[in-house]
Structure 1
Amino acid sequence: MVTVGVVGPRDLVTSTRKVVGSMPGVTTVALPYRTETQTVEVVRGAPGEVDAWLFTGVVPYEVASGAGLLDRPASFVNYTGAPLLTAMIHLLKEGHDPSSFSIDILDVGQVDETLKEAGIATSGAHVLPYRRGLTAADIVEFHQERAAEGVGVAITCLRSAYDVLRTETTAIRLAPSIHSVRYAMQQLLVAFGEARSDDAQVAVGLCEVDAAAEGDLRREASGLGGTVVAQRDGRFFIFTTRGPLEVATSGFTELPLVAKLGAAHGTIRVGFGVGGSAAEAAALARRALGRAGRLGKEAAVVSMRNDIDLTLSGTSLRSLRRPSLSLLSERAGLSKATLVRLQEMLAAQDDATVTTRTVAAALSVQQRTARRVLNRLERAGAAQSTGRQGLGGSGRPLVTYHLYL
């Protein structure tokens, strides 16, 4: 079952959910706003069970993307094709010239193609394509200027612009068609499936390190979601899947256990292979280990299909005074907005010790969601369990964590 958060104006969220809700294996969460400027607030406040985002238009999608909040598969409903043709039919019914209008958000090529397919002249279409940073005020001004030039109809994709324009001129607000919603959902489900498929790929590691390091290796490999198996030749296999490995290595860029075990035990070389089967992954791991052997005494390489070899740094995020939020966001699977709020929480405290309760309060979420956040940060190397905090009465003690933010 996939839980989709539908983001947009309330009326479009309602109509979009009706279409999406009829699709098997999909549930929806309504995330409406009054104006597109509230997109960031709405997405930040979405419940943790949302697996993917569906935006009712490109504007809220771009707002959320610009704020770094698209930490899950996301798509938006396109208004070309059927929605635009519906607007043309409405103009004809109302006695307006369908070849003379101003329209926003859509690309010129999209508008021209739709009009040509319908046999409508394109010379009278005045288009304001979307660009990042475009505001409702910009859109209203564009339509007002065209109206002053004699263009009699304004077609807008933005609810806030429509509310202004309809009091001044003939205005039509484009709305998603059933077909456009279904198409957007198909794209979203494909992206969601690809993400899950990538996460499920097999990852096999082959490690050369002193036998005395086995205990430390097992402990560090738990952060990769991995299982360590000793081999007769003195090497060690590490079995995991792509998802946990990609998170723990910050998008295949670093492997801190190399520096840790190297400092304690000397030479360590690790080769990871990522493939569709254990056999393929193991073969790639051997290739990766061979390449790591040519890099020095402390080295790690990830090998994938198509001759892709990625060298991993041994630097730990914890060694950085102020980690890159973009890097940590990818590594932990959390939005940069969430990490910023945690940084703000720490700035207001005397130390970096937190619990699920304090994190839940800072993020305005339930404690079970806060626990998932802390678990992700711990796996990413940005949090460490430090003990337990008694409640002074009944109830389970709270686990305390130190955050490295």
Structure 2
Amino acid sequence: MMMHTTNRIQLGVLGADDSLAIIQEVAKTYEELELIPIVYWEEDEIPDRIAPYLSRAQMWLFSGQVPYSIARQQLQVDRPMFYTRHSGEGLYKALLYWVHERGLKVSDISFDTLSPDVVAAFLADVGISSTVHLKHYNGVIRSEELVNYHKSLWEEGVTRASITCLRSAHLQLEKLGLPTMHLTPTHSEVRQVLENIIQTHELLQSRDAQVVVQLIGMNPDQIATLATDCDATVQRYARYVHGSTQKVSASQWMVYATRGAIEEITHNFSRRPTLPFLADIEAQITVGIGIGTTVLAAEERAHFALNEASTLGLGQWVCVLENNQVISPLSSGEETLSYPLSHGDYEDLSHAISLSALTLTKLASVLDKRGSTRLTAHELAKHLHILPRSARRILLTLEAHGLATVVGEETPYQRGRPRKIYDIRL
């Protein structure tokens, strides 16, 4: 049922002319939305096209991966951002055209941008086994690169037509006289993202003082085999927490949710959630949670949290609260560490010795948590989730600069060399 609102969502929509027309047509059925349509012809124009509307738009929608990625990289957009994603549905439309008009096979056509798993799933659905000429990429690409890709295959006689997801590449290919088609979003693909935008706006308004953003990264080595399953699981997870999701890249997703929902499943940001439907992918993902009073602040914290989780290894979750306190990792065990995101107190010391301010901040938090200035390399390694040899390097560096002193030895339970006990004075 359509929700009636007095305050319509100011939705900035940037897209190529044909894609923008489709989005505008579909958006007419959503009275919650007031579109700010912005057309572009070349990717270099995008930052200047968007800039005048940054303060006006409450949310942003882009007509594809490339304009979305350019905006993320080049502009500080403090609003939720989405883009239309291509599914197998659009491929059906494009391929039917080429089959009907030219009698072509899949192997006669070159494609770009599309996710390999989307293409593979499409072919499996219709029972086709074929060579696929696909140039897939993450983030931004120049139209000239796509034009050269399609043009070279056509000139070599490998292909007889092309399907591109980038309008600027499509126009250049047309000028060259190559048979080509621009893959525009379908009505159902647009409806899906518009409903996602409306849902995201509602949940952010429900507690606008606290924005929660989660970044979920997948093991890059597993993209080919797990991408489709992971995509479906992340969407299910977003529904479970009454949130919404946007795929950022081939191996990364962003989830918007309310603080209460994430607080509940993580037991007040203290442990990883134990959800049965996450079981198949949890060992192949890392998760960063960021909380802030603005979307941009929450995203920045989520990025830091994801980087920290990635250094700890697959399966780890890290959270940065609105007060810039880092909880790393979320775990029910004693190894969880809480430390400040800002480590200005140790910047000068960091310059004097070969240890980062972040490492020194974590070390100070370990000592504070233990209530003692004494520990072994083995204990430090356990708290920081690093190898014992890395912990020994930290302690030896501190010792060399007069910040740590060996005060005794600890005999391990099993056979082995006694462990040195260090007293640390930061």
Normalization by structure 1: what TM-score? 0.50
Structure 1 equivalent of residue 80 of structure 2: 73
1:8 and 1:32 in contact (8 A); partners too: yes
- Counterpart for residue 243 of structure 1: 293
Structure 1 counterpart of 2:104? 97
- 2:136 aligned with 1:129, yes or no? yes
Deviations 1:249-268 (A, max 9, x none): x969xxxxxxxxxxxxxxxx
In 2 relative to 1, CA 94–185 (structure 1 residues): closer, same or farther, beyond 3 Å? same
1:119 is aligned to 127
- Residue type of the partner of 2:184? A
Deviation at 1:10, TM superposition (A): 2.4
Are residues 1:186 and 2:236 paired?
Answer: no
Is the 8 Å Cα contact of residues 107 and 128 (structure 1) preserved in structure 2?
no
1:4 Cα shift? 0.7
Amino acid at match of 1:80: S
- In the alignment, does 2:59 pair up with 1:9? no
* Structure 1 SS opposite 2:11: strand
Report if the CA contact (8 A) 2:82-2:197 is conserved. Answer: yes
> Shift of the alpha carbon at 1:11?
2.9
SS in 2 for 1:103: strand
SS at match of 2:75: coil
Q: Does the 8 A contact of 1:10 with 1:33 survive in 2?
A: yes
Structure 1 residue 8 displacement after superposition: 0.9
1:245–1:315 CA distance, 2 compared to 1 (3 A) = farther
Q: Quote the residue 2:178 is aligned against.
A: 169
The separation in 1 between residues aligned to 2:75 and 2:16, in whole angstroms, is 21
Q: State how far apart, in whole Å, the 2-side matches of 1:14 and 1:302 are.
A: 44
CA distance in 1, matches of 2:14, 2:135: 23
Alignment of 1:267-278 (within 5 A): none
Q: Deviation of residue 83 (structure 1)?
A: 1.2
Query: Within 5 A, what are the aligned runs for 1:289-300?
Result: none
- 1:232-381 equivalences in 2 (<5 Å): 243=293, 311=340
User: Aligned partner of 1:184: which letter?
Assistant: V
Q: Which residue of 1 aligns with 2:155?
A: 148
- Residue pair 1:44, 1:69 contacting (<8 A) in 2 also: no
**Cα deviation, residue 3, structure 1:** 1.1
TM-score (norm 2): 0.48
Residue 246 of structure 1 deviates from its aligned partner by 9.9
Q: CA deviation at 1:118?
A: 2.4
Equivalent position SS for 2:61: strand
| 2:41 aligned partner | 34
Equivalent pair of 1:79/1:176 in contact (CA under 8 Å): yes
Letter in 2 for 1:180: E
For residues 247 and 7 of structure 1, do their structure 2 counterparts lie closer, same or farther at Cα, with a shift above 3 Å needed?
closer
Please state how far the C-alpha of 1:79 moved relative to its aligned partner: 2.0
| C-alpha distance in 2 between matches for 1:27 and 1:159 | 25
1:207 match: none
- Evaluate the alpha carbon distance shift between residue 246 and residue 59 of structure 1 in structure 2; reply closer, same or farther with a 3 A threshold: closer
**Structure 1's 28 and 310: CA in aligned 2 closer, same or farther, altered over 3 A?**
farther
Cα distance in 2 for residues equivalent to 1:46 and 1:246? 16
Q: Deviations over 1:283-312 (max 9, x none)?
A: xxxxx9xxxxxxxxxxx9699x99996647
Q: Counterpart in 2 of 1:367?
A: none
Q: Kindly report the root-mean-square deviation, in angstroms, between the aligned alpha carbons of the 2 structures.
A: 3.6
Alpha-carbon contact 2:18-2:184 (below 8 Å) kept? no
Q: Distance in 1 between matches of 2:55 and 2:325?
A: 34
The gaps in structure 2 that reach 5 residues or longer are: 1-7, 212-290, 303-320, 346-426
Shift of 1:201: 4.9
Asked whether the equivalents of residues 98 and 120 of structure 1 are also in contact (C-alpha less than 8 Å), the reply is: no
**What is the CA-CA distance between 1:86 and the residue it aligns to?**
0.3
Measure, in 2, the Cα distance between the counterparts of 1:55 and 1:33: 11
Out of 199, 213, 219, the residue aligned to residue 208 of structure 2 is 199
- The answer on whether the counterparts of 1:21 and 1:28 sit within 8 Å (CA) in structure 2 is no
| Residue number in structure 2 paired with 1:107 | 115
In the TM superposition, residue 59 of structure 1 has moved relative to its aligned partner by 0.9
**Higher RCO, 1 vs 2 (CA within 8 Å, ≥6 residues apart):** 1
- Percentage of matched positions with identical amino acids: 25
